[in-house]
Structures are given as C-alpha cells and as structure tokens.
Amino acid sequence: MSAARSLDPTRWLVLPMLQVLAATLLFGIPLRLWGLQLPEPIFAMPAVFAWAVIRPSVLAPMGILILGLFLDLFWGGSLGFWPLCLLIAYGILLAGRNMMAGQSRVMLWIWYGMVTAIAQLSGYLFVMLDNRAMPSLVSVGWQYLATLVLFPFAYRLIDLFEDADVRFR
C-alpha cells in the first residue's frame, strides 16, 4: 500500500479530469483496424467511482457535470444526458459509501460493475425515451464491458488518496 497523499483538489480532481478528457479525445479518433473501430468506454466512470469512495465533496459533482457536458458535446448527444447518468451513479455510490469502505479490490470491482450497469441502464432508458426507439443492446453491452475494464484506474486513484482525509473514515 502506498503512502497517502494530501487531498489537494488539483491532484485528486483536476488531473483525473484532464486524463479523462485526453483519453476520450484519443479514443474518439475515427481509426479503424481490420474494419473495427476503437471501443467507446465511459472514461469518466472510474473517476466518478473513485471520487465517491475517496471523499464526499461539493467539488466532485461539479467535476462530474463538466465531464458529462464534455461527453455530450464531444459525442453529439443530448445536452445533459451524460451528466445525469454519471450523477445518478455518483449518488448511488455516496449512499453506499460506508459499505464500500475497507472492502477488497474484488468487492470494489463488483460495486464498480453494478454502478456502471446502473449508469448504462439509465442511459439506455433515457435514449429510448428521447428517440422513441431502442438502442442496440450489443453496442451497449460492448460499451459496458469496455468501461468495466477501466476499474484498475479507479482503484489506483482510490489507493493514492483514500487515507488522505481521516475526517471521513
């Protein structure tokens, strides 16, 4: 276990936000290999998960709102779609935060998978209501699996800052 770092908002909020933005831009390049396009995981999900586990804060929902609006603008979706999906996930994570404290890596991955599924299901329902048509379940499934694989990034962020603020433990 690494030594805990201070909870400077620049280090636990701004830097992960910039990394999410860069990864989204990188994976948004219309590059095809053997006819296949790069997956479109929700890179903001590991940050949302880690921020809820690390510390309840007023800054994290603002960061989630900014990331969600960026995703909406970048992917050309309805404005407010991704912020709503990500804030639903964040709210659920905050409600279950005490149950996640001190859990093993596998249990946190299970929590991450459940909350990612809820965010994806919310998004699926919102798109279905907005377009009056069902999105492709295969596409949503691949996006879910691609996002699920990103858990180690959330765990690394949690490991870096989890013990930095003992007021919330």
pLDDT digit string, tens, across residues 52-70: 988 777 889 999 999 999 9
- Using alpha carbons, select from 95, 94, 72 the residue that is nearest to residue 84: 72
pLDDT at 38: 62
Segment 71-96 shows an average pLDDT of: 92
Q: What angle do CA 93, 99, 103 make, to 5 degrees?
A: 105
Q: Please, which pLDDT band fits residue 27 given cuts at 50, 70 and 90?
A: confident
Segment 98-106 shows an average pLDDT of: 86
Segment 106-135 shows an average pLDDT of: 93
Two tokens at 19?
A: 């990394």
pTM equals: 0.86
CB proximity list for 26: less than 8 A, separation 6 or greater: none
Percentage of the chain modeled with pLDDT above 70: 86
Domain spans in the chain, listed from the N-terminal domain onward: 9-164
Cα separation, 41 vs 31, whole angstroms: 15
Task: Return the SS3 of 115.
Answer: helix
Q: To the nearest 5 percent, what fractions of the chain are helix, strand and coil?
A: 70, 0, 25
pLDDT at 166: 47
pLDDT at 167: 45
